[in-house]
Amino acid sequence: MYIFLRYQNDIIINLKNNIMKTKEEKFKGLMLPGIPMFVFNVLLLFAAIYLVVLAGTGVSERFTAIMAIAGVLLIFTSGLFFAGFMQIEPNEARVLIFFGKYVGTVKENGLFWVNPLFAKKKLTLRARNFDAEPIKVNDKSGNPIMIGQVIVWKVVDTYKASFEVDNTSKAVMMAKDNLHDKMKAYEHFVKVQSEAALRFVAGMYAYDNSESHHEALTLRSGGDEMNEILEKQLNERLMLAGIEVLEARINYLAYAPEIAAVMLRRQQADAIISAREKIVDGAVGMVKLALQKLSDDNVVELDDDKKAAMVTNLMVVLCSDEPAQPIINSGTLHH
């Protein structure tokens, strides 16, 4: 009797609450421990079978019809009660729906019993990986690049995940509540939105610094800052589905094949120029030091022409790609 009264109260509360829910709520209705209810239901089933057997044996002609009807009703009630059991494992949840109306979410672990008329939609709250294949996009400079990402995500809002996005694929509808196919639908949503976020981030920054773009932050040198920007963009897009991105990283970055060779030569040229600049700066310092040392120690007196010749020879020796070939002068300084 207590259970039926609680049913009535739950139904009245649900019918009076006409406000459309827009976020996850904890289920506050009748939820009983599963083990005691299972024992009670088994005893109820045995009692129903016993009444039917007694009615069949005709022990009491006066109450035969009553016992038969009561036994059948108890069997139907026991079968209905079995539909109210639900088992929830760690990092799982059940979204409860009463004739199309969301009544709450259960995240407690264990075996429970609720109103058998509730539809119990299963969702997993475990973290999942998504390793996206590299896609071709244009960076801020317009250069085609290949960029890939890896994402760690999970469902955090069961209401939005169940009702804000379409996860009713054909396979899910045929299986009624196939969790694997349902999560595949979420993975497809994550894939589409993550690709859009990656294209947006790649278009905001250049691949690396060049003559046309000198920026402090680039895709190549951004590192953790670039990952944080990508994670923020992903969370903004996936918030609609109740999905949170725990981590996002750019795991592949390269020029597109059609310009890779040209860009490699440009990078090599930049490296050579940078190295030459350092070599020239060092050579100039060494020549200056040599002239200053000769002058301070009074080793030799050099006029401007001799200084120019010495500077030329030293610069050639110090900046040459190959070892200098010594030439012995058997004459004087002038011949």
pLDDT confidence band for 7 (50 / 70 / 90): very low
Report which DSSP code applies to 210: -
Residue 2 confidence (pLDDT): 47
CB 34 within 8 A of CB 84: no
What is the pLDDT confidence band of residue 233, given thresholds at 50, 70 and 90?
Answer: very high
DSSP code, position 221: T
Contact 214, 127 (CB under 8 A): no
Average pLDDT of the chain to the nearest whole number: 80
Q: Is the pLDDT of residue 5 over 50?
A: no
pLDDT band at 330 (very low <50, low <70, confident <90, very high): low
pLDDT grade for 166, boundaries at 50, 70 and 90: confident
Q: So what's the pLDDT on residue 1?
A: 45
Rounded Cα distance between 321 and 314, Å, is 13
Across the chain, which distance is largest between two alpha carbons, in Å? Answer: 147
Q: Per-residue pLDDT averaged across 23-42, rounded?
A: 91
pTM value is 0.67
pLDDT at 150: 95
Rg (CA), the chain: 39
- Report whether pLDDT(32) > 90: yes
Domains and their CATH numbers in the chain = 2-122 (no CATH), 128-255 (3.30.479.30), 261-319 (no CATH)
Flag whether pLDDT at 124 surpasses 50: yes
Q: Note the pLDDT of residue 120.
A: 92
